[in-house]
Amino acid sequence: MNIRGKHILLCLSIAVAAHVSNLTNNYNTGIEPTDNKGFTDCSISHNFGEMTNATTSPTPLIPGRNYHITATVTIKKPIQWAILHFIVKRKFKNYANITFIDEKFNFCDIWVSFFNMHCPIEPGIYNYNYSEILPQLMWPGLYYSKVTIYNENGEQLLCMMKEFDIN
């Protein structure tokens, strides 16, 4: 490769790195560090519901092994329909985050798979217990996750954040 080609590759690499760090650092992601203190409630209000007694085990998580999440979910008003926005990012070299998941799901479909109940969801207290094997593809390191649920009017029903380590 000639010197001009090397300069073009160097400039392209710098441009990509700058673009990635500008787009993916904490202050642009909406996910703030929680100092790994468990689940952090980021809800605007608790008018619709809340999640309490949330735990994740084991700590740290280990690829290829089961992990468990338990929580108590309190629904205060009927939920006719909602969207669940799920984000998972991994800290990269203390200056950027890599997005692994940034997806929106039909909350009612998720609710059916966990509680075997269809929307509308009536007010009440629901115990959440979930277990699955963590994929082997997960890189070791510190991850940030955020779940936000919105109803059909765009009102936030719930917001939770969690930092977790993977060995």
pLDDT digits (tens, 9 = 90+) for 65-123: 999 999 999 999 999 999 999 999 987 887 788 898 999 999 999 999 888 999 999 99
10 Å CB burial of residue 97 (0-12, 13-18, 19+) is buried
Mean pLDDT score, 28-39: 58
* pTM listed for this prediction: 0.75
163: CB partners within 8 A, 6+ apart: 33, 34, 35, 36, 37, 142, 143, 144, 145
164: CB partners within 8 A, 6+ apart: 36, 56, 59, 60, 61, 142, 143, 145
pLDDT of amino acid 110: 92
Mean pLDDT score, 126-142: 90
**17 pLDDT above the threshold of 70:** no
